[in-house]
């Protein structure tokens, strides 16, 4: 009975690591059509209370992909900041409760706003996508963005 409990604990830990997105920022699970599916940084836009970065998730591939979000224009994203030790997790724009899968058809795109970092840094947006069967996945990253906190 004791080995079954150990096996169960191992399965639970591995499941949590994968489902929580605890992954090496340098590694990617590659799908086909590399580069045809990307995140484009469109610049800053005035939103409630200040400026927010606008992005576009672009699918120039021949396959439908999907992403998780609270709505078509509210994907679950995270961000990474460049530090002395390399790229590190910066923030998440979600908690996951109430999220659903949204399809992005070939030759289409969806625009969305994200949150700014709290401090000056070089950062990039991160978004996970899967193929329509949820078999292959890929972690997309935007270009590197320099951000300086405005001085009052």
Kindly report, residue by residue over 50-82, the tens digit of the pLDDT.
899 999 999 999 999 999 999 999 999 999 999
Instruction: Answer whether 127's CB lies under 8 Å from 39's CB.
Output: yes
Output the pLDDT for position 93. Answer: 61
Among 125, 117, 96, CA closest to 38: 125
pLDDT at 41 over 90: yes
pLDDT at 10 over 70: no
Burial class (CB in 10 A: 0-12, 13-18, 19+), 149: exposed
- Cα–Cα distance, 130 to 60 (Å, whole number): 15
Q: In the beta sheet, which residues pair with residue 145?
A: 123
Sketch the domain layout of the chain as residue ranges.
24-147
The residue with tokens 């530090």 is 83
- Cα–Cα distance, 106 to 103 (Å, whole number): 10
> Right CATH number for 24-147 from 2.60.40, 1.20.1640, 2.120.10, 1.10.3470?
2.60.40
The structure's pTM equals 0.76
Output the pLDDT for position 91. Answer: 79
Output the pLDDT for position 143. Answer: 97
């Amino acid at each position: 009975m004791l080995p079954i409990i150990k096996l169960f604990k191992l399965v639970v830990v591995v499941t949590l690591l994968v489902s929580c997105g605890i992954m090496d920022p340098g590694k990617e699970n590659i799908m086909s059509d590399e580069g045809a599916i990307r995140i484009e940084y469109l610049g800053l836009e005035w939103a409630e209370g200040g400026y927010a970065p606008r992005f576009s998730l672009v699918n120039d591939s021949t396959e439908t992909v999907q992403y998780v979000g609270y709505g078509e224009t509210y994907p679950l994203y995270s961000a990474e900041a460049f530090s002395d030790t390399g790229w590190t997790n910066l923030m998440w724009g979600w908690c996951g409760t109430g999220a659903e899968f949204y399809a992005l058809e070939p030759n289409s795109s969806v625009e969305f706003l994200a949150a700014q970092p709290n401090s000056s840094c070089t950062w990039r947006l991160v978004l996970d996508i899967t193929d329509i069967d949820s078999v292959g996945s890929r972690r997309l990253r935007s270009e590197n963005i320099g951000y300086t906190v405005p001085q009052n």
